[in-house]
Amino acid sequence: MFWEIFDFLSSKCSTKTADWLMSQTKHRPQVAIICGSGLGMLADTLKCQDSFAYSDIPGFPQSTVQGHAGRLVFGELKGKSCVCMQGRFHMYEGHSLLKTTFPVRVFKLLGVETLFVTNAAGSLADCLQPGDIMIIKDHVNFPGLVGLNPLCGPNDDKFGPRFPAMSGCYDKNLRCLAMEIAKQLGVAGLMQEGVYAMVGGPNFETIAEARLLHRLGVDAVGMSTAPEVVVATHCGLRVFGLSLITNKVVKSYEDSDSVNHEGVLEVGRLRSHTVQQLVTELIGRMEINNNNTNNAA
């Protein structure tokens, strides 16, 4: 009963939100971008902007984290129509996973076909340094593995199947194109592919947790992204993801370093221009299916 009401509200609500947005802007985005901590300035590069505070959008959750402005910005990048979330929602803020991923279904209803996710993350791999950019090849969704999954509850068939495949959820062609672009921009030295893991947060990892993640083959750890990608893949969106490495995760009891959110935001500011260039070029050069069909409407 609980799930039925929840599901009904979520499905109806995303349609209502998408309809409201379409009545307020002429943009019909093909690409959606979710900005991670400290990376919100990506939205400032959109041309011909229409922007909406989350608090003014019917049904939209609210951002509570510093470095997440709470604005939805529509506009154009390299001639492609985009919508950009300046601020995302995290499970640790107290939002349900259905709420944290609510915008993804709204994007689907707006006709978006490709989702870009960006995040700030801590590095576990010795070869990833603060300031490096990791192209996400795959993820480990720790909350999802124990049943905290936005797709739990009755399946909404109009978005996708009950048991969606997640292999290949980060598009290979876009990953290759991003690497090519990085070479042309002269920033390939900062970039490599890797595996992102989502943990629940809001605390950063203990040393024992960091060691566990490292042994499991995780290259970078953060507190977001995986649920958005699960919902996007479920409803057939093509996904591209970037992690900006903002800190090394402390793995040694001899190490006196410790991570904090201000440091995370600072690295975001330092690398925002490079992330912007990469995303802009990639959007400019990627192929897109031009018929905005407002799928799943």
Binding residues for phosphate: 37, 68, 88-90, 120, 224
β-bridge partners, 248:
123
Member of 109, 264, 278, 286 binding ligand HPA (CB under 6 A):
264
* 246 lies in the binding site for ligand HPA (CB under 6 A): yes
Member of 90, 99, 238, 271 binding ligand LQZ7MJT6 (CB under 6 A):
90
The four Cα atoms 180, 186, 187, 189 give a dihedral, to 10 degrees, of 90
Question: Would you call 222 helix, strand, or coil by DSSP?
Answer: strand
The four Cα atoms 122, 128, 130, 133 give a dihedral, to 10 degrees, of -90
- Count of CB atoms situated within 10 Å of the CB of 129: 12
Site string for ligand LQZ7MJT6, 42-81 (x = CB under 6 A): -----------------------x----------------
β-bridge partners, 240:
116
* 75 lies in the binding site for ligand HPA (CB under 6 A): no
* 219 lies in the binding site for ligand HPA (CB under 6 A): no
Enter the tokens of residue 284: 């400019």
In the complex with ligand HPA, the residue whose CB is nearer, 17 or 118, is: 118
Consecutive H or E run containing 21: helix 2-24
CB 46 within 8 A of CB 77: yes
* 22 lies in the binding site for ligand HPA (CB under 6 A): no
Interface positions with ligand HPA (CB under 6 A): 120-122, 204-205, 221-223, 246-247, 249, 259, 264
Catalytic positions, written as ranges: 37, 68, 90, 92-93, 120, 223-224, 247, 261
